[in-house]
Amino acid sequence: MSAPVDVSPPPLLSIEDLVVSYATAAGRTRVVHGVSLDIRAGEVVALVGESGSGKTTIGQSVIGLLPENGRIDSGTVRLNGTPISDWSQDRLDGLRGARISLVPQDPGNSLNPVRTIGAQVGEIFRIHGYRDRAEIDRRVLELLTRVGLSDPELRARQYPHELSGGMRQRVLIAIAVALKPDLIIADEPTSALDVTVQRRILDLIDDLRAETGTAVLLVTHDLGIAADRADRVVVLQHGRIQEQGAARDVLARPTQPYTRQLLADAPSLARAAQRRPRPASTPGEPAIVVEDLTVDFSVTGDRRGTFRALDRIGFSVAAGTTHALVGESGSGKTTASRTVVGFQSPTSGRVQVAGADVASLRGEALRQWRRTIQLVYQNPFASLDPRQSIRAIVEEPLLNFAPVPAADRRRRAETLLERVGLPGATFGRPPAALSGGQRQRVAIARALVLDPAILVLDEAVSALDVTVQAQILALLDELQRERGLTYLFVSHDLAVVRQIADTVSVLQQGRIVESGPVQDVFLHPLTAYTRDLIDAVPGRRLQAAE
């Protein structure tokens, strides 16, 4: 941190005693308390911490992109020894994109939806003074090829919505590396992508770095990614540095309890096998049986065209166990889970849940059947009504069935909220006052209040950072043991699946390519696709360190 600058050249980027605060309704809140770190030329430094630790804020302060209510209170940011933290926005404009560039977190809304990819990549050249159109066009195509986009000429003419999330992230990387900057700040560049795409994107950043000697500040909550990709790791908690050093040392010999905690929470393939397998509680009928299930979607704009989301898939889940559906995005796993809970009607095939044929249920029978199976959504920010209080959200399912007296309803909701680990003070608040992890606890409480036998978890922990994710997984495990619940667990993250599931089906383009007990599938994958998924799980170095 306080590296003596006497002999060696100054570090590429040096942050000294940075203090950042935000203006809130209750006055100024400090979120970064005196952080110092250096990045040398060509180095990859990972800034690791849970959400709210200030890691994104640090990345933003470096290039003067703090939100309007944010402010650097003290401290300096130096680029090659020149302080830039007090530069005006106009002066920083010359720096941004050319010397330091940013790869933003969410490829979904970081591109302008009404301009073509080519125009947006070309913009970086125009901003920085390139005038020759033909030259710009040529460089754009070169860049798009460079970041591994197939058919770059077509891509340059396309609009962002025509590209997948991984492709958009490649475009953002193309923009970031266009002018060969000295430093790229990558703010959670892959957390919105599924594992295989994530690995390809991180590989791409690695390659580009090796080629041009660009340094990378990698902001991530995933210690596994940090372990795989970084030379040095800086562990951040509540805006303070807990620990920093060479990735190898920090991961092998963490000195701080918080780092140890992060290490323990990181889902990794190595320590997954500790879960006791659940024996099927009742040896009789399986809780979920899916046979020959096919789901077609009609493609808009094409009268005859249909898209086959699921193609004759079949699996069964024994009561009291966890079955996982894994696959990349677009593999049909969400369609499968929605068909099981009755939100999507099958084109053909049979789905039997708790003894009832789901497709044949109508009206009141369907409503009554819903008590037995509940869905927990991926995004806890969208699945709770913003205008209801936490207590009202959990009470609501009880209103839909045989009347429960108000006092009794309240008691049941509160017992359950306490059971999922929410403090009593939050019960009267709206969801907006809660963190993502707390909201997901509310969603779980709402799903459980009707005492269902089956819970379908659609990427239920994917939006949460590792620490919270570990807590929610532990909670799900306890609840399953207490209540004999059956879980259908949909995820793209194999490390998580290995922690929680007994059996697994691997989906690829609507077909099941492999299924069986988790141990077998993970230790002896039969298909290249499964092997690819397993290899993509970050944290190889973490395993090696153990």
Partner 1 sequence: MTDVPFEQQAAPATPHRLDLRTSTSRLRRSFHPGLWISWGVIGIVAAFAVVPWLFTGHDPVDGSPLERRQAPSLVHWLGTDELGRDLFARIVYGAVNTLSGAVVAVAVGLVVGTLLGVVAGSSGRRIDDAVMRLVDVLLAVPALLLSLSIIILLGFGTVNAAIAVGVASVASFARLARAEVVRVRRSDYVEAAFGSGGRFFAVLWRHVLPNSLNAVLALAALQFGSAILQISTLGFLGYGAPPPTPEWGLLIAEGRNYISTAWWLTTFPGLFVVAAVLSANRISLSLRGRSA
Nearer to partner 1, 84 or 466 (CB): 84
Token couple for 339 = 């068909």
| Inter-residue contact 153 to 183 (CB < 8 Å) | no
Q: Minimum CB separation from partner 1 for residue 23, in Å?
A: 6
Nearer to partner 1, 302 or 364 (CB): 364
- Residue ranges in contact with partner 1 by CB under 8 A: 12, 23, 68-69, 71-72, 79-84, 86-88, 91, 182, 341, 343, 367-368, 370-371, 374-375, 377, 379, 382-388, 396-397, 399-401, 443, 446-447, 450
Q: Minimum CB separation from partner 1 for residue 56, in Å?
A: 19
Q: Minimum CB separation from partner 1 for residue 400, in Å?
A: 4
Q: Minimum CB separation from partner 1 for residue 82, in Å?
A: 4
Nearer to partner 1, 88 or 274 (CB): 88
Nearer to partner 1, 49 or 431 (CB): 431
Q: Minimum CB separation from partner 1 for residue 450, in Å?
A: 6
Q: How far is CA 93 from CA 118, 214, 475, in A?
A: 21, 19, 47
Length, in residues, of the chain: 546
| Inter-residue contact 194 to 492 (CB < 8 Å) | yes
Please choose, from the candidates 259, 179, 195, 156, the residue with its C-alpha nearest in 3D space to the C-alpha of residue 467. Answer: 259
Q: Minimum CB separation from partner 1 for residue 367, in Å?
A: 5
Q: How far is CA 134 from CA 144, 158, 432, in A?
A: 16, 19, 49
- CA 330 remoteness from chain centre: 16
Nearer to partner 1, 288 or 542 (CB): 288
Please choose, from the candidates 348, 351, 333, 363, the residue with its C-alpha nearest in 3D space to the C-alpha of residue 194. Answer: 333
Q: How far apart are CA 246 and CA 263, in angstroms?
A: 15
Token couple for 518 = 């988790």
Nearer to partner 1, 80 or 294 (CB): 80
The three-state secondary structure class of 75 is: strand
Q: Minimum CB separation from partner 1 for residue 385, in Å?
A: 5
Handedness of CA 298, 302, 306, 307 (dihedral sign): negative
Nearer to partner 1, 81 or 279 (CB): 81
Q: Minimum CB separation from partner 1 for residue 26, in Å?
A: 12
Handedness of CA 239, 217, 177, 541 (dihedral sign): negative
Q: What is the CA radius of gyration of the chain?
A: 25
Please choose, from the candidates 50, 489, 514, the residue with its C-alpha nearest in 3D space to the C-alpha of residue 239. Answer: 50
Nearer to partner 1, 393 or 479 (CB): 393
| Inter-residue contact 465 to 50 (CB < 8 Å) | yes
